[in-house]
Amino acid sequence: MASGIRFDKVSVAYGANTVLHSLDLTVEPGEVMALLGPSGSGKTTALRAVAGFVRPASGRVLIGDRDVTDLPPHRRGIGMVVQQYALFPHLRVEDNVAFGLKAQKVAKAEIPARVTEALEMTGMASYAKRYPRELSGGQQQRVAIARALAIRPGVLLLDEPLSALDAQLRSGMLAELARLHRELPDVSILYVTHDQVEALTLADRIAVMDKARLQDCGTPQELYRRPRTEFTASFVGNANLLPVQVGSGSVSFAGAQLKVPTGDVASGVSATLCVRPHLVGLGDGPNALTGSVSEVQWRGSTHRLYVDVDGHRLKADLRELRTPPALGDEVTVHFAPEDAVLLSAGVSKDG
């Protein structure tokens, strides 16, 4: 019973404030789609439209091929996990997990086995008799996931499920979620997050949201290697965004000619060149740029250099340097032509 999710021109408004603008997005059956965007960009709103807690002002929401736009939440058969766990505090772990099964009138004899199955899937079987307050945050979130999975939903909605956990726990849970999805390949997952690492790690595709609109959608590799917009480039991974004049087969930046693939971008327009900081090298090489070091950050395994090139700040992430340059030193940095991407969206004539 694999069923995808489809947003069909879904708009949501609170009063005069449109918080979701004509969203068109399809989550394929069994796919993990991450909704990635800064806080307030409308991610939660989109997720709540699927769950049935906000009514679209216009547009339709489909689960499988069923139009659920007018269906109350309790008839949608969706699993939902939220940031603050939302476990029922007066119920033991097993009763929390059984809640949905009872609500859906699953045969009484079947419930204990289903509860155990769900708890085993999340590694919480030995905590069945505990109360939520007796569990750590990470354990509570596992119970919340077990509770959502127990009803065997076709669609699982996760709203920043790891945000309340500390960094180490988060990476462990990320691996757990990936494993869960391998065990349940038919479940379509909509995963809301503002954390690019979570999105890149877990998602089959990422939908990038900003200012109530879908900005970009693609596989993590596409978005990371070939971003189309400045927003995507800087939100999915780190980016140097350089304002350039496009020539033929090269661009000019700060008086230097840089050899980069220009694709079908017309010659003579202003555009933005995206270079990932970890692809910038120190010393002479192709596309060399010279500037003075304005900041050096040691990050353990890497050094982050900020280099002022003609008033533009260039970031370079370099493998830990034996002797890092001092502030104010003149340095040369370079990058390979194939490591630069000319952003094709929003290109303006003569900017």
Partner 1 sequence: MASATLSAPVNKAANPRKGMPKWVWALPPVAVLALVFLYPLALVVQQSVQPDTGGTSLKPYADVFASSAFREALGTTVWLALGATVGCLVLGFALALVIAFVPFPGGKAVAKFIDVFLSFPSFLITLALLFVYGSVGMANGLWTDVTGAASGPFQFLTTPWGVLLAEITYFTPFVMRPLLAAFSQIETAQLEVASSLGAKPARIIRQVILPEALPALAAGGSLVLVMCLNEFGIVLFTGAKGVTTLPMLVYSKAILESDYPGACVVAVVNVLISVGLYGLYRVVSRRAGA
Ligand X SMILES: Nc1ncnc2c1ncn2[C@@H]1O[C@H](COP(=O)(O)OP(=O)(O)O)[C@@H](O)[C@H]1O
Nearest residue to ligand X, using CB?
A: 44
Considering the rule CB under 6 A, would residue 44 count as an interface residue with ligand X?
A: yes
Considering the rule CB under 8 A, would residue 53 count as an interface residue with partner 1?
A: yes
Query: How far apart are CB 52 and partner 1 at their closest, in Å?
Result: 8
CB 86 within 8 Å of CB 144: yes
List the end-to-end C-alpha distance of the chain, in Å, as a whole number: 52
Query: How far apart are CB 99 and Mg ion at their closest, in Å?
Result: 24
Residue 67 and residue 70: Cα distance in Å, rounded? 8
- Judged by beta carbon, residue 83 or residue 188, the one nearer Mg ion is 83
36-44, 62-70, 205-213, 260-268 -> range binding Mg ion (CB under 5 A): 36-44
Instruction: From the list ligand X, Mg ion, partner 1, none, pick the one residue 86 interacts with, judged by a Cβ distance below 5 to 8 Å according to partner type.
Output: partner 1
Considering the rule CB under 8 A, would residue 52 count as an interface residue with partner 1?
A: yes
Q: Which bin fits 237, alpha (ψ -120 to 50), beta or left (φ > 0)?
A: left
Q: Which of residues 16-35 bind ligand X (CB under 6 A)?
A: 19
- Judged by beta carbon, residue 162 or residue 271, the one nearer Mg ion is 162
Considering the rule CB under 5 A, would residue 44 count as an interface residue with Mg ion?
A: yes
Listed in sequence order, the residues at least 6 apart from 123 whose beta carbon sits closer than 8 Å to its beta carbon are 142, 176
Sheet (strand 330-334) strand order: 281-282, 330-334, 289-298, 302-309, 312-319
Query: How far apart are CB 87 and partner 1 at their closest, in Å?
Result: 8
Residue 336 and residue 276: Cα distance in Å, rounded? 11
Residue 173 and residue 177: Cα distance in Å, rounded? 6
Of 308, 298, 315, 302, nearest to 330 by C-alpha is 308
Q: Which of residues 71-110 bind partner 1 (CB under 8 A)?
A: 72-80, 82, 84, 86-91, 99-100, 103-104
Residue 259 and residue 286: Cα distance in Å, rounded? 8
Interface residue list for ligand X (CB under 6 A)? 14, 19, 37, 39-45
Interface residue list for partner 1 (CB under 8 A)? 51-53, 72-80, 82, 84, 86-91, 99-100, 103-104, 144, 147-148, 151, 157
